[in-house]
Amino acid sequence: MKPITILRSRTAVLADANVDTDRIIPARFLTTTVRGGLGRHCFQDWRYLPDGSDNPTFPLNQPAARGCAILVAGHNFGCGSSREHAPWALLDYGIQAVLSSEIADIFRNNALKNGLLAIVVGEAEHHWLLDHPGVELGIDVRRQAIDLPDGSQIRFELEPFARHCLLEGVDQLGFLLQGAKGIDRYERERAA
Amino acid sequence: MSPRTLFEKVWNAHVVAAETADTPAVLYIDLHLLHEVTSPQAFDVLRERGLRLRRPDRTLATLDHSTPTLPRGTDGQRPYATPAARAQVEQLEANCREFGVTLHGWDSPHRGIVHVIGPELGATQPGMTIVCGDSHTSTHGAFGALAFGIGTTEVGHVLATQCLLQRKPKTLAIQVDGTLAPGVGAKDLILHIIGAIGVDGGTGHVIEYRGSTIEGLSMEERMTICNMSIEAGARAGMIAPDDTTFTWLQGRPQAPQGSDWDAAVARWRALRSDPGARYDRELHFDASQVQPTVTYGTHPGMALALGASLPAPRNAQEQRAASYMRYQPGQSMLGTVVDVVFIGSCTNARLPDLREAARVLRGRHVADGVRMLVVPGSEAVRRDAEAERLHEVFLAAGAEWREPGCSMCIAMNGDLAQPGQLVVSTSNRNYEGRQGKGARTVLASPATAAACAVAGAIADPRTYLAMEASA
């Protein structure tokens, strides 16, 4: 994983609450055996009309939303299945951060492990962000702060290990493997 | 020692390295379940890094999601929905061969939905930590295991180290007391609970279901309850093991045998929350208030008693759900025309679920224009159901009797509904498009689903069950 310190982008807003992982990437695209290439199916059944053309009412199809790397999403984003294909699809689509007042547990875990910044902000700040699509933000992982154009900032919580891994590009499997002696010991003691 | 919850007992017994301010706990995993959809990229990581699979003996695989439920064709070929689905299945077969994992594949008499076969084999046991790249892993919590879904990166972590990095979740006790009314079952109860606490009501928590109602449930009913914990946002649901659990597990192929069994039961009896143990939150429900319950919207929290009048949308999202589902505020779901009925999934495809549906269907016929699929959860369920001739009840009623698999719950194997069709389903998710693009899902119990098939519209199962009782 590449280290991430600061992400700057305008925001796109997807205000619906409870956007589930089936909406993000429908199950029929899960027969892939690789991680890549899911961006073209991200939000497939919402993003396209039945004839395959872009759905003009899908918020991320609006011209102003194109190219935005920060998604401000409705409450409880990413609920439902454990498919890591959801963060893979979002990243491949070009989304590098999701801000919401609540993000489902498994999705948030999966996102952070792939360098997709899944960040929970307070309700008042969430409302403000939902009401201001297109605002230019700077997400600073080290300071755990989102910088707004007027110089103010929104603070956010981030699990310390996830933050460390994002900043240093730490590979979590490598970290676990370093503790192999402890795992050996645990297995020996339990078997005894 | 201060009183501890069931969850804390299981958690503490699996901590390899304690969590600190800077690092999560290293948590040992006793059983790792695999299926074809969420594992291929994780095996690739092992190969890329030259790693071995640490504990093949603690790893168990099956084929369920991408697998067709129709039999082989006259050409001997399985009717996969796409070449990609076939390739995915073949990839898991190859990965299991390469890394020495037991696979309950096409030729195994134990193949089935991963959350049905783990318990059936006795691989799922009280006090274990169990994970799978599948959010409905919460099902196994019915046995007093700590069981939760993980992503594919974490599948790779467990393959390589048998461990996960985890922060300790919070605990939520859901206490249920009172008697469920006739015709009301575990599915109604869990839909009722999710309807009350919402799809994010359990986020960040492990739920422990407890109370006299829960203690009175069979293992299959407990699995239905724990299965849907994730639909309330909780990663895991747990129920303390008791004699019901032990009786159910005894003699299963992977359960301890002989004196090991007695020692295991003695250990397992300690797996209950101590008196005075503290939970982060506690909620109480009265089972006698629960009615046959169905969903009306596009997530499992939009659930209400069958006859209840549907609420007016309060926001844009509920407006969208009302428009997608075409439900009418002020009316109830009763009488809504049904196109498809699906009995199956890790929520409700075990033998008692099929018996419940058969009770309603026996001597009756699926209404004209309704397509009904009955998909057993495993080969074992299929054998047992056929031994009881339940399949004859389904076939005589005009339903399709299929081979085991996830089927129309996730609709990635070719079993799906058409745009606009209304599906009454015993599965767990009623999201937009879950059962096919544009398909509208109503979640229900097996009895309700069967009643809907007969009526051709959403119907109260008690009407049919009462007629059966008086016959």
Interface probe with A: pick from B431, B435, B443, most Cβ of A within 10 Å? B431
Q: What is the DSSP letter of B168?
A: P
Quote the minimal CA–CA distance from A35 to chain B in Å.
7
Q: Which among A95, A26, A31 has a CA at the least distance from the CA of B41?
A: A31
Pairing state between β B281-286 and B102-104: unpaired
Q: Is the dihedral of CA B248, B251, B256, B261 positive or negative?
A: positive
Q: Which residues of A touch B30 (CB under 8 A)?
A: none
Beta carbons of B307 and B334 less than 8 angstroms apart: yes
- Name the closest residue on chain B to residue A36, using Cα atoms: B41
Q: Which residue pairs, CB below 8 angstroms and at least 24 apart, start in B328-336?
A: B332/B306, B332/B307, B332/B308, B333/B294, B333/B296, B333/B304, B333/B306, B333/B442, B333/B458, B334/B306, B334/B307, B334/B457, B334/B458, B334/B459, B334/B460, B335/B457, B335/B458, B335/B459, B336/B422, B336/B442, B336/B457, B336/B458
Question: Rounded CA gap, B418 and B408, in Å?
Answer: 12
By the CB < 8 Å criterion, does B165 face chain A? yes
Mean pLDDT, residues B206-224: 98
Q: Using one digit for the tens of pLDDT, what is the confidence trace for B117-156?
A: 999 999 999 999 999 999 999 999 999 999 999 999 999 9
Cβ-Cβ pairs closer than 8 A, A with B, add up to: 167
Q: Report residue B99's pLDDT band, with 50, 70 and 90 as the boundaries.
A: very high
Could you give the 3-state DSSP secondary structure of residue B53? coil
Residues 6+ apart with CB under 8 A from B387: none
Quote the minimal CA–CA distance from B174 to chain A in Å.
20
Question: Rounded CA gap, B199 and B291, in Å?
Answer: 20
- Cross-strand partners of B31: B130
Q: What angle do CA B228, B442, B218 make, to 5 degrees?
A: 40
Question: Rounded CA gap, B251 and B237, in Å?
Answer: 25
Share of chain A above pLDDT 70, in %: 100
- Tell me which residues of chain B, numbers 246 to 275, contact chain A at a CB-CB cutoff of 8 Å: none
Tokens of B291: 């009615």
Could you give the 3-state DSSP secondary structure of residue B255? coil
- The number of beta carbons lying within 10 Å of the beta carbon of residue B107 is 7
Pairing state between β A136-140 and A6-14: antiparallel
Quote the minimal CA–CA distance from A104 to chain B in Å.
7
Mean pLDDT, residues A69-98: 98
Question: Rounded CA gap, B164 and A190, in Å?
Answer: 17
Q: Which residues of B touch A45 (CB under 8 A)?
A: 432-433, 437-438
Quote the minimal CA–CA distance from B388 to chain A in Å.
34
Q: Which residue has the tokens 């409905």?
A: B136
Q: What are phi and psi of B26, to 5 degrees?
A: -95, 115
Could you give the 3-state DSSP secondary structure of residue A161? helix
Quote the minimal CA–CA distance from B140 to chain A in Å.
16
Tell if the CB–CB gap between B41 and A34 is shorter than 8 Å: yes
- Name the closest residue on chain A to residue B412, using Cα atoms: A28
- The number of beta carbons lying within 10 Å of the beta carbon of residue B13 is 15
ipTM rounded to 2 decimals? 0.97
Tokens of A45: 């059944």
Tell if the CB–CB gap between A27 and B22 is shorter than 8 Å: no
Tell if the CB–CB gap between A18 and B38 is shorter than 8 Å: no
By the CB < 8 Å criterion, does B167 face chain A? yes
Quote the minimal CA–CA distance from A120 to chain B in Å.
13
For helices B379-387 and B390-397, angle between their N-to-C axes, nearest 10 degrees: 80
Q: How many residues does chain A have?
A: 192
Beta carbons of A107 and A19 less than 8 angstroms apart: no
Query: What is the distance of C-alpha A118 from the center of its chain?
Result: 4
Share of chain B above pLDDT 90, in %: 98
Tell if the CB–CB gap between B299 and A20 is shorter than 8 Å: yes
Residue B430 has pLDDT above 70, yes or no: yes
Q: Using one digit for the tens of pLDDT, what is the confidence trace for B21-30?
A: 999 999 999 9
Of A17, A30, A176, the CB nearest to B161: A176
Question: Rounded CA gap, A127 and A136, in Å?
Answer: 16
Beta carbons of A8 and A14 less than 8 angstroms apart: no
pLDDT at B284: 98
Q: What angle do CA B332, B333, B334 make, to 5 degrees?
A: 90
Q: Is the dihedral of CA B406, B410, B411, B417 positive or negative?
A: positive
Q: Which residues of B touch A84 (CB under 8 A)?
A: 38, 41, 133, 151-153
By the CB < 8 Å criterion, does A120 face chain B? no
Q: Which among B290, B162, B139 has a CA at the least distance from the CA of B225?
A: B139
Residues 6+ apart with CB under 8 A from A151: none
Interface probe with A: pick from B31, B39, B55, B152, most Cβ of A within 10 Å? B152
Cα–Cα distance list, B430 to A47, B35, B69, B199, B289 (Å): 20, 22, 21, 12, 24
Query: What is the distance of C-alpha B130 from the center of its chain?
Result: 14
Tell if the CB–CB gap between A110 and B151 is shorter than 8 Å: yes
Beta carbons of A171 and A161 less than 8 angstroms apart: no
- Tell me which residues of chain B, numbers 404 to 423, contact chain A at a CB-CB cutoff of 8 Å: 410-412, 419
Quote the minimal CA–CA distance from A106 to chain B in Å.
7
Of B16, B45, B315, the CB nearest to A182: B16
Residue B470 has pLDDT above 80, yes or no: no
- Name the closest residue on chain B to residue A178, using Cα atoms: B161
Q: Which residue has the tokens 């169990």?
A: B130
Q: Using one digit for the tens of pLDDT, what is the confidence trace for A124-153?
A: 999 999 999 999 999 999 999 999 999 999
Of B84, B153, B315, the CB nearest to A113: B153
- Cross-strand partners of B442: B424
pLDDT at B160: 98
- Name the closest residue on chain B to residue A108, using Cα atoms: B151
Q: b/e per residue, B288-325, with b = 16+ CB within 10 A?
A: eebbbbbbbbbbbbbbbbbebebeebeeebbeebbeeb
- Name the closest residue on chain B to residue A173, using Cα atoms: B157
CB-side exposure of B263: number of CA atoms within 13 Å? 5
Beta carbons of B430 and B298 less than 8 angstroms apart: yes
Instruction: Specify the pTM.
Output: 0.98
Tell if the CB–CB gap between B431 and A80 is shorter than 8 Å: yes
Residue B36 has pLDDT above 60, yes or no: yes
Tokens of B158: 């467990």
Mean pLDDT, residues B397-407: 98
By the CB < 8 Å criterion, does A175 face chain B? yes
Tokens of A97: 């951060």
Question: Rounded CA gap, B346 and B159, in Å?
Answer: 24
pLDDT at B1: 76
Beta carbons of B156 and A174 less than 8 angstroms apart: no
Q: Report residue B167's pLDDT band, with 50, 70 and 90 as the boundaries.
A: very high
- Tell me which residues of chain A, numbers 14 to 33, contact chain B at a CB-CB cutoff of 8 Å: 15-18, 20, 22-23, 26-28, 30-33
Question: Rounded CA gap, A66 and B340, in Å?
Answer: 39
Q: Which residues of A touch B67 (CB under 8 A)?
A: none
Could you give the 3-state DSSP secondary structure of residue B32? strand
Beta carbons of B348 and B427 less than 8 angstroms apart: yes
Beta carbons of B465 and B360 less than 8 angstroms apart: yes
Mean pLDDT, residues B325-332: 96
Beta carbons of B28 and B54 less than 8 angstroms apart: no
Question: Rounded CA gap, B242 and B213, in Å?
Answer: 14
Question: Rounded CA gap, B428 and B381, in Å?
Answer: 19
Q: What are phi and psi of A74, to 5 degrees?
A: -65, 170
Could you give the 3-state DSSP secondary structure of residue A143? coil
Tell if the CB–CB gap between B37 and A104 is shorter than 8 Å: no
Q: Report residue B313's pLDDT band, with 50, 70 and 90 as the boundaries.
A: very high
Quote the minimal CA–CA distance from B51 to chain A in Å.
10
Residue B469 has pLDDT above 60, yes or no: no
Beta carbons of B315 and B207 less than 8 angstroms apart: no
Residue A108 has pLDDT above 60, yes or no: yes
Tell if the CB–CB gap between B162 and A16 is shorter than 8 Å: no
pLDDT at B471: 53
| Residue A149 burial (C-beta neighbours within 10 Å; 0-12, 13-18, 19+) | exposed
pLDDT at A1: 80
Q: What is the mean pLDDT of chain B?
A: 97
Beta carbons of B76 and B193 less than 8 angstroms apart: no
Quote the minimal CA–CA distance from A114 to chain B in Å.
8
Q: What is the DSSP letter of A41?
A: G
Question: Rounded CA gap, B23 and A175, in Å?
Answer: 10
Quote the minimal CA–CA distance from B448 to chain A in Å.
24
